[in-house]
Amino acid sequence: MERRIIPWKSCHSADSEHAWVKGELIRYVRICSNEADFAKTRKDYAIRLHDRGYPGRWLQNVFDEVEYKAERPKVLKSPLPNGEGDGQELHLLKLTHNPIWDAIDLRPVWRDLDEASRDLGAGYPEFRFLASFKKPISLGDRFNKTNHNTLKTYHGRPA
């Protein structure tokens, strides 16, 4: 199954575009069992991106960050020692994205949460915290939901 490629002129940030292109290359490193297959897949991917408007020099810079021989051992290694949990419970902080979060160092927040949970008797040594940001609801999202509900009511079935 071929994945859809977001066009270059989308409203995504440059950091997002860079991250998902690089992430896809790293995925190709993981799923290609030899360097020749990776080279072919990488070339095909570059062509598809270029066809969607991605500039060649920008692509070259991102593609240069991922080398098969350097990445392959890392992507095949289990993220957890011996494939088991590391004794650290992961705590997820769900937040709605706001650009102000980009300028905030969350480490003191994690420490305060850890201390508060210890005070309540629920803390563990070496808590791990992760912030997960969801997209804020836009006016377009609200219109789409309203239109969906209107069409559902009008037609008596989901649109």
Chain mean position to CA 130? 13
Whether 127 contacts 114, CB under 8 Å? yes
Q: What is the pTM of this model?
A: 0.52
Residue 85 is encoded by which pair of tokens? 């949990």
Place of tokens 């920008």: 58
Residue 94 is encoded by which pair of tokens? 């769900």
Q: Which tens digits make up the pLDDT trace of 74-85?
A: 887 755 555 444
Q: Which tens digits make up the pLDDT trace of 125-146?
A: 555 667 777 777 888 877 888 8
Residue 29, judged by CB atoms within 10 A of its CB (0-12, 13-18, 19+), counts as buried
Q: Which tens digits make up the pLDDT trace of 6-63?
A: 888 888 888 889 999 999 999 999 999 899 999 999 999 999 999 999 999 999 999 9
In the chain, domain spans: 14-76, 83-159
